Each structure stands twice: as structure tokens, then as C-alpha cells.
Chain A
């Protein structure tokens, strides 16, 4: 590995200029992009950034739909020595006002120096031109001439600012979704990312026969690292399609695996269920999945039932069930913390339910009482250590459940311009993940989360964001709303439930209010609610300090209301 992103990309271009590194599905067809094409396209952006006065070390937010411009814009930032961060694109469901609020939250904290977007987006970023925002370069892709010849063949790969970045300079920022997530940008240095790529590729046994196929969004760590930067920097061909395409036509993923002889694919847990249930045999003629050596489950709670459903559905198409693999990952560690299922099949730990729930201990099941199946996330990758601690921050032995701590050579530098959040995330040099789990046989099992985070289809949802939206509705008692996730076995992911207390004078309008809650939450967070429940005053349980207790109310809901789970 070289010192920085630009040097690593240039290294690949110099050695393999004609190698097709990217196959990007645009409309019905694939565009095949060589390293030379990639750097040519990216240098157009680099030159334009330079022209607009954006300098090395500047943060640039990229807001573009999936496609070649997004890819070129990203590497244009890299080559210009900038720190790129991809922001989710406005979807049709989300109302512009809410999206604008999220953007403003991001810009307020991050204070970027540039934005790359396109002219249709002008209205959404108008606030940037207001006086209080300072100097920010707005770059429209329409202004960048796609036909301009950027570099000469000789010596054209030298002289741009990105090559001068130091190994410990920041390389990129990574945000998760929602207002809360956007205010915590994970900042990562070049060296940390390269350390991750080296260790992770060892764990994966990545080799020259591999082909990665991905539909994952690039604003998410799984898509950005496993499904974008790793293959491009290491010379592994990458087949890329848009998440919007995939969700409407999941069979295209399997067609891509067949056509390009895909070997590796990352999926969030829900996608195993989704693929298994929503594929029609007619679309699967000539599908051959025998080339797949790992389909890696990552980024939301993993279930054995999802793995079984996937294996059963696709074994007729040559899928080898031992290719199911697992990983525990987070942007704060660049990506992977652990990896399992590569050299040997994924381990499942069958444990006793009662001691697990009541004593926080994972005792192997001995045919007595109730059991629960835990999915192994595998062993830590080289350079990353995992430890488990109790509430008093004492390290726990194997099979004791506590908070997962990590220490590594690929750790975040901090949350960008949020020293407060960075500081509170560490105990000495150990990063507190906020997830619960245990170690057994050196492998990590994730059991739950300390934070009230809900994960829907791999996307992080902060309950507070949803509750804030609901509290704005007339008739809803302010401060008396709770949102939480309930696992749905059919879908393989969490459903979001909202419970809201209604003012007495509005009880005859609860149907309208429920409909309004659904519509408003969807428009402002792009989440479809599974159930909206309006209740009378005093239904919700509060803590002694007067806060709504999410966990207790979820328990009450499961006991009193929901019969399906």
C-alpha cells in the first residue's frame, strides 16, 4: 500500500491502465470502466475543484444519485487532496423541507468547503448561499465538460495535490442517516483505511480470481469500503448497481453474479429474506451462483433463519450454503471488526435462553429448558482487538455478555468537529461500540444494543428523530411519544412501531391522527411504520426522571398489544 489514496490509485493506473476495474449498471446496460477511464473522469473533477479554489484538506460533500458522476466526483476529491463525504440523495418519499433540515444540520457541524451536486438540486442547497455560511464552493456537474481532455499521456499522473497527503491526514468522512447521524461524521485517516484494507483482505483471502458484486449505497460504510474503495484500491473487479434498481429488481443482482462470475457479495440481514422471497423463477433462467464463495451478512442483527431461507431458495441455482459468511463492522473501525465463515462455515452457538436473559451469560444448551440460536460474527481481523466489559467497565471473561469494546490500528480519528462525542466514546484507548455481545472460542456473538438505535434494512434510525416528527402533530401530547424497533422474522429486519398519547379532546379523530403520523414520518424520515398506536393519556411508562422509557414501553407493547411476534 502507498501513503495515501491518490498514490494508491495512480499506482493501479500506471500498472494496469486497461484493466476493467468497474462495471456499472446504467439503465439496462453495463458501462465498463478501466483504471485509465477512472482517473481521466476523476481528474476532470479534480481540475474543476482546483479552479473553484477548493484546496487539499478541504471537506467536500457530494450529493449525487448513483452513477458514474458520483464515482468520478469522489475520486476527483481524492486527487485534489480533499476529504469527501457522500450524502444520501433526496428520494421521492422524503419531503424537501425535512431533507433541507438534515442538510443544514450536517453543514452546521461539518462546515464543508465545497459541495458537488447538480443544478436541479439548487433549491435544496439555497441556504448555503445565505450570508452566514461563509465561502463554500458549489460545483454543478453540468459545468464540468465531459469531453475535455484532461491529461497528456506522458507525465500526466503527477502534480495533483492529493499525492501530497500524509498517511495520517484525514481521507474521508462517513455519516450515518437521520438528523442525529448527520451530526456525527466519522473521520478516518488514509493509514487507518489502508490498515483496514490489508487486514480485511487477509481475513477474506481476497485474491486475483475475486469479483465483487454490490448494490449497496456508497454513503454507507459497507458500500463505501467493501463495495467501492477496497476493490478499486486492490485491483478486484467491482460490479456496481444502484440500490434503487436492486430494490425493484432484485434478480438483477443474481444476473450480475452469473454474468461476471461474482465471488463476493455483502448484504444486510434483511436482504437475505428479501432476495429469497421476491425472486420469480422466470427471471432466474440461466442463473449460476456456483462462483460465489462468500455472501457476507453485515450491518444489522444477523439471524440463522435468514441464512437458511437464502440457502434454500438459491441452492437450485448452484449456490453453496457454506458460502454464507458474517461480519461485525462499523464506520468507526473503517469497516470490519470481525469476519467469519470464510475458511470454515459460520458457527452457530445454541445457548440457554433463561440465563441469557436474566444473568447475561451464554451457557451452551443441554436439552433442558428453552434455547436460543446465536450467530457468530467470526474472529477479529488482524490489528483489531475485541473485549467485553460490564457496566463498571471491568473486562469480562468468555461467555459473559457486556458491552463490546474495540481497539485497533484502523480506528476513527474522531467524530468530525465533535470532540465531546469523541471523548465520551472511549475508555482509555478502547472504543465503546454501544453494542452488547459475548466472546466464545475467540469468536464474537452480538446480542443487542445498549443504545436505542433501530436498524431497518441496514439503515440506522434514531428513535428520537421519529419521536420529534410525531410530536409536531396536532392532537399528539407533546413529550409523550415513543418509537422503537420490533424484529420481524419474515422480513429479517426490524419494523418501527410508534405509540403516541392523544389529547382528550382529539380522541374522536384518532384515525386521522394515525394516518397523519404515518404520512409525516414517511415523508420526513423515509421510513414506513409497521404500526401506529394512539393511546390514552398515561398509557406510556415514564422513568422516575420523567423521560419516556423506550425499553419498558416496548415490553409493554409486546405483552399487551402485539400478538404476531
Chain B
């Protein structure tokens, strides 16, 4: 899967399933975690979403803004593990 395809899938899934804001268009470089858009209670949901959609497991310890904070960075991680 191309990175752009991963990014598009993440954009839709995060807006719909995690943020509950289906109309929202998340910018690939927009901070997700440090901005509070994805709060700490939703990080597990994000890990589950990534695993269900891409069959890539994010470790509990990777769920912080130092590892990834934007869609683009998350897509890189996913692409590297597919």
C-alpha cells in the first residue's frame, strides 16, 4: 500500500471513528496528540484502528507524541511495518 493511500484511509477513519467529526479533514502534518485532538483516552482506540485496518501493531509504549504526532508520521510507521 502506498503511503498516500494509508494517509487517506487514516484521515477518514480517525475523523469518523475517533474524533466523531466525520466532516473534518485532518491535515497530514497537523499535530494529533500534542494538540489534544486525539486525547489520551483515545490512544488505545487509535492503536486498535491501526491494527484492524492495516494489520500493523503499535506497542503501548509507542502511543505518544514523541513517536508520532501527525498522520504523515503515523503513515510512515505503518508503511515500514507492512
Contact = CB atoms under 8 A, between A and B. Distances in A.
A309 B43 CA distance: 21
B35 A519 contact: yes
Given A92-B64, A92-B65, A245-B60, A518 B44 contact: no
B9 to A, nearest CB: 20
Contact of A248 (B34, B43, B65): B43
Interface string A458-478: 000000000000000000000
B63 A93 contact: no
Given A92-B64, A92-B65, A248 B44 contact: yes
Given A92-B64, A245-B60, A518 B36 contact: yes
A252 B44 CA distance: 13
Q: Which of B37, B39, B64 has the most CB of A within 10 A?
A: B39
Interface in A487-507: 491
Range of interface residues on B (Cβ < 8 Å): 10 to 19
A523 interface: yes
Contacts of A36: none
A491 B60 CA distance: 21
A431 interface: no
Contact of A247 (B34, B35, B40, B61): B40
Size category, A interface: 20 to 34
A278 interface: yes
Interface string B9-43: 00000000000000000000000011111011111
Given A248-B60, A249-B60, A278-B48, A93 B36 contact: yes
Interface string B47-73: 010000000000011011100000000
Given A247-B43, A248-B43, A278-B45, A518 B37 contact: yes
Given A245-B60, A248-B63, A528-B39, A93 B34 contact: yes
Nearest to B58: A248
A250 B37 CA distance: 21
Nearest to A250: B44
B41 A247 contact: yes
B65 to A, nearest CB: 6
Contacts of B48: 278, 280
Residue in B35, B41, B45 with the greatest tally of chain A CB atoms within 10 Å: B41
A457 interface: yes
A522 B63 contact: no
Contacts of B63: 248
Contacts of A526: 36
Nearest to A270: B41
A240 to B, nearest CB: 17
25 contacts: A92-B33, A92-B64, A92-B65, A245-B60, A247-B40, A247-B41, A247-B43, A248-B43, A248-B60, A249-B44, A249-B60, A250-B44, A252-B60, A270-B41, A274-B41, A278-B45, A280-B48, A491-B41, A518-B35, A518-B36, A519-B36, A522-B36, A522-B39, A526-B36, A527-B36
Interface of A: 92-93, 244-245, 247-250, 252, 270, 274, 278, 280, 457, 491, 518-519, 521-523, 526-528
10 nearest A-B residue pairs (beta carbon) = A522-B36, A528-B39, A249-B60, A278-B44, A248-B60, A248-B63, A528-B36, A247-B40, A519-B35, A93-B36
Given A521-B36, A522-B39, A528-B37, 9 more contacts: A92-B34, A92-B64, A93-B33, A245-B60, A274-B41, A278-B44, A518-B36, A522-B36, A528-B42
